[in-house]
Amino acid sequence: MTAEIVEIEALSINGTGDEEDVVTPWNVTSKNDTGIDYDKLIKKFGSSKIDDELINRFEKITQKRPHHFLRRGIFFSHRDMHTILNLYEQGKPFYLYTGRGPSSDSMHIGHLIPFMFCKWLQDVFDVPLVIQLTDDEKAIWKNIDIESAIKLAHNNAKDIIACGFNLSKTFIFSNLEHIGNNPAFYQNMIRVQRCVTYNQVKGIFGFGDSDPIGKIAFPPTQAAPAISGTFPFIFQDKKVACLIPCAIDQDPYFRMTRDVTPKIGYPKPALLHSTFFPALQGSKTKMSASDNLTAVFLTDTPKQIKNKINKYAFSGGQATVEEHRRLGGNCEVDVSYQWLRFFLEDDEKLKKIREGYTSGQILSGEIKKELIEVLQPLVAKHQEARSKITDDILKEFMKPRDLGFVYKS
Amino acid sequence: MTAEIVEIEALSINGTGDEEDVVTPWNVTSKNDTGIDYDKLIKKFGSSKIDDELINRFEKITQKRPHHFLRRGIFFSHRDMHTILNLYEQGKPFYLYTGRGPSSDSMHIGHLIPFMFCKWLQDVFDVPLVIQLTDDEKAIWKNIDIESAIKLAHNNAKDIIACGFNLSKTFIFSNLEHIGNNPAFYQNMIRVQRCVTYNQVKGIFGFGDSDPIGKIAFPPTQAAPAISGTFPFIFQDKKVACLIPCAIDQDPYFRMTRDVTPKIGYPKPALLHSTFFPALQGSKTKMSASDNLTAVFLTDTPKQIKNKINKYAFSGGQATVEEHRRLGGNCEVDVSYQWLRFFLEDDEKLKKIREGYTSGQILSGEIKKELIEVLQPLVAKHQEARSKITDDILKEFMKPRDLGFVYKS
Q: What ipTM describes this predicted complex?
A: 0.92
Q: From chain B, pick out residues whose CB is under 8 angstroms from the CB of A176.
A: 183, 186-187, 190
pLDDT at A9 over 70: no
Write out chain B residues lying below 8 Å of A214, CB-based: 190, 193-194, 196
What's the pLDDT tens digit per position in A70-102?
999 999 999 999 999 999 999 999 999 999 999
Cα nearest neighbour of A183 on chain B = B180
Please state, in angstroms and rounded to a whole number, the distance separating the CA atoms of residues A93 and A404.
Answer: 13
Residue range A8-35: average pLDDT?
Answer: 60
Q: What is the pLDDT of residue A290?
A: 61
B203–A contact, CB cutoff 8 A: no
Of B183, B187, B209, the CB nearest to A199: B209
| CA distance, residue A352 to nearest chain B CA (Å) | 52
Angle, helices A251-260 vs A198-205, to 10°: value is 150
Closest CA to A251 of A40, A24, A37: A24
Mean pLDDT of chain A, nearest integer: 92
Would an 8 Å CB–CB cutoff place B211 in contact with chain A? yes
Residue A407 near chain B (CB below 8 Å): no
> CA nearest B317: which of B346, B275, B371, B356?
B356
Interface contact flag, B214 A194, Cβ < 8 Å: yes
Mean pLDDT of A260-271: 98
Nearest by CB: A216 against B179, B183, B216: B216
B212 and A CB contact within 8 Å: yes
How far apart CA B195 and CA A214 sit, in angstroms, is: 8
In the predicted structure, residue A20 carries a pLDDT above the cut 80: no
**Does the structure show a pLDDT above 60 at B2?**
no
Q: Is the pLDDT of residue B324 over 60?
A: yes
Chain A interface, best mutation among B151, B210, B213, B233, by max A CB count within 10 A: B213
Residues A217, B217: C-beta atoms closer than 8 Å: yes
For chain B, the maximum distance between any two Cα atoms, rounded to a whole number of angstroms, is: 68
Report the pLDDT averaged over residues A132-144. 96
A320 close to B (CB below 8 A): no
Alpha helix segments (H runs only) across B63-212: 68-71, 81-89, 112-125, 135-141, 146-161, 175-178, 183-193, 198-205
Distance CA B244, CA B271 (A): 5
Mean pLDDT taken over chain B:
92
Nearest CA in chain A to B149: A187
Partners of residue B198 in chain A, C-beta under 8 Å: 198, 207-213, 216
pLDDT of residue A293: 84
B16 inside 8 A of chain A by CB: no
Whether chain B has a CB inside 8 Å of the CB on A193: the answer is: yes
Contact B179 A176 (CB under 8 A): no
Residues A181-221 pLDDT 10s: 999 999 999 999 999 999 999 999 999 999 999 999 999 99
**How many angstroms separate the CA atoms of A123 and B37, rounded?**
69
pLDDT above 90 covers a percentage of chain B that reads: 85
SS3 B273: strand
Phi, psi of A237 (to 5 degrees): -105, 20
Instruction: Evaluate if residue A8 carries a pLDDT over 70.
Output: no
- Interface-testing mutation among A135, A190, A204, with chain B (most B C-beta atoms within 10 A): A190
pLDDT on residue B33: 67
State yes or no: pLDDT of B31 exceeds 80.
Answer: no
Report the distance separating Cα B186 and Cα B178, nearest Å.
Answer: 10
B202 in contact with chain A, both atoms CB, cutoff 8 A: yes
pLDDT digits (tens, 9 = 90+) for A283-318: 776 666 566 788 999 999 999 999 999 999 999 999
**Which residues of B are less than 8 Å from A140 in CB distance?**
190, 193-194
pLDDT at B10: 28
Residue of B nearest to A207 (CA): B198
Burial of B369 (0-12, 13-18, 19+ CB in 10 A): middle
Mutation for B interface: A133, A194, A253, most B CBs within 10 A: A194
CB A176 within 8 Å of CB A135: yes
CB A261 within 8 A of CB A269: yes
Contact B183 A180 (CB under 8 A): yes
pLDDT of residue B326: 95
User: What is the percent of chain A with per-residue pLDDT over 70, rounded to a whole number?
Assistant: 93
pLDDT-derived band of residue B22, with 50, 70 and 90 as boundaries? confident
- Chain B hits for A201, CB-CB cut-off 8 Å, are 213
Instruction: Quote the percentage of chain B above a pLDDT of 70.
Output: 92
Quick check: B212 and A201 CB within 8 A? no
Nearest to B187 among A146, A185, A202 (CB): A146
**pLDDT bucket at B15, cuts 50 / 70 / 90:** very low
* C-alpha distances out from residue A404 to A233, A234, B330, Å: 10, 7, 72
Q: Is some CB atom of chain A closer than 8 A to the CB atom of B259?
A: no
Mean pLDDT of B328-354: 97
Per residue in A377-391, pLDDT tens? 999 999 999 999 999
Mutation pick from B148, B190, B192, B237 vs chain A, by most beta carbons of A within 10 Å, is B190
A23 DSSP β-pair partners: A28
Cβ separation of B180 and A180 shorter than 8 Å? Answer: yes
Q: pLDDT of A236-245, one tens digit each?
A: 999 999 999 9
Q: Does A265 touch chain B (CB under 8 A)?
A: no
The pTM is what? Answer: 0.92
Query: Does residue B291 register a pLDDT over 80?
Result: no
Contact residues on chain B for A139, CB-CB shorter than 8 A: 190, 194
Mean pLDDT confidence for B7-26: 51
At position A18, the amino acid (one-letter code) is D
Contact criterion met (CB < 8 Å) for B181 and A177: no
3-state secondary structure of A380: helix
The values of phi and psi at residue B58, to 5°, are -55, -50
- Nearest chain A residue to B219 by CA distance is A213
Which residues touch B148 (CB under 8 Å, ≥6 apart)?
none
Task: Determine whether the interchain pair A183/B195 forms a contact, defined as Cβ–Cβ distance below 8 Å.
Answer: no
| pLDDT surpassing 50 at residue A234 | yes
Interface contact B147, partner A, CB < 8 A: no
pLDDT digits (tens, 9 = 90+) for A336-348: 999 999 999 999 9
Q: Are A262 and A268 in contact (CB under 8 A)?
A: yes
Q: Residue A334: which pLDDT band, with cuts at 50, 70 and 90?
A: very high
Closest residue in B to A203 (Cα) is B209
Instruction: Pick the more confident residue, A61 or A404.
Output: A61
pLDDT at A17 over 70: no
Residue A202 sits at the chain B interface (C-beta within 8 Å): yes
CA of A177: which chain B residue's CA is closest?
B183
Give the closest of A184, A213, A217 to B180, CB-based: A184
Q: Is B298 on the interface with A (CB under 8 A)?
A: no
- Strand A170-174 vs strand B48-49: parallel, antiparallel, or unpaired? unpaired
For the segment B168-197, the average pLDDT, to the nearest whole number, is 98
Local confidence band at B7 (pLDDT 50, 70, 90 cut-offs): very low
Q: Is A19 on the interface with B (CB under 8 A)?
A: no
Give the three-class secondary structure for A94: strand
Chain A residues touching B193 at Cβ < 8 A: 140, 212-214, 217
Residues of chain B found within 8 Å of residue A220, distances taken between Cβ atoms: 213
Distance CA B279, CA A154 (A): 55
Cβ–Cβ of B202/A209 closer than 8 Å?
Answer: yes
Chain B CA closest to residue A140: B194
- Measured CA to CA in angstroms, residue A290 lies from A135, A185, A279, B267 at distances of 17, 32, 13, 35
